[in-house]
Amino acid sequence: MAERELWTGQPPGSNPFALPRGPLGRAAGWVLAVTNRAQNAEVLRAAGVAGCRRVLEVGHGPGVLVRMLAEVPGLSVTGVDPSPEMVAMARRRNAAAVRAGRVRLHRGTAADTGEPDAAFDLVLSVNTVAMWPYLDPGMAEFHRVLRPGGRAVITWHRFPESFRLTPEQLARVEEAMALRFGAARRRMLPGSVVFEAVKEARAVPGGSARAVQGA
């Protein structure tokens, strides 16, 4: 049975960086490490980790942002990625922090991080949202693993133009986040579109996955 197309309407294999595998996957990881470095730094500044103790990055790729996060004093960093090649590459890049217990990395997806409820102050995902099969399960998982008052930050490329999401697709991401969190905010950085939401102390009822998947 063929895999379902992504929520964007693209086939699952349309983006070579979505699930890097084998030698080509490792090469893709090196490309990502170079091309996304400035964007990772931009998102880190914008996300604001002051006051955070535990951060989860979903879709950490080669581990560049994980390394930046691990350099913040007092911050415990967890990363998940569906690609075993990317997990291995990120562990090598962050070997000292992994040995020191400041960084944990394992396989996982936006819809299934494998992490406990209410465990994180901040959940970050940089340049992965267009690769999700569905929007709602990822948003529900982000909401689940955040503590009350915790923040979700999801970003996507503004450039190059070939990577951009359409205005309608950007609206769907914002709507899916608001559906789970009760409200969402979109803002523009030089290289990224940023979607942000806060988990309120009072649980916000989530809509069914079908409401977003069928949109």
What residue spans define the domains of the chain? 22-213
154 contacts: CB under 8 Å, gap ≥ 6: 124, 125, 129, 142, 173, 177, 194, 195, 196
In the CATH scheme, what architecture does the domain 22-213 have?
3-Layer(aba) Sandwich (3.40)
In residues, how long is the chain? 215
CB 192 within 8 A of CB 120: no
Instruction: Kindly indicate the confidence band of residue 25, based on its pLDDT and cuts at 50, 70 and 90.
Output: low
State how far the Cα of 45 lies from the Cα of 15, in Å rounded to an integer.
27
The more confidently predicted of residues 76 and 27 is 76
Q: Using pLDDT thresholds of 50, 70 and 90, give the confidence band for residue 144.
A: very high
Q: How far apart are CA 212 and CA 8, in angstroms?
A: 12
CB 26 within 8 A of CB 139: no
Round the average pLDDT of the chain to a whole number and report it: 85
Query: Model-level pTM?
Result: 0.83
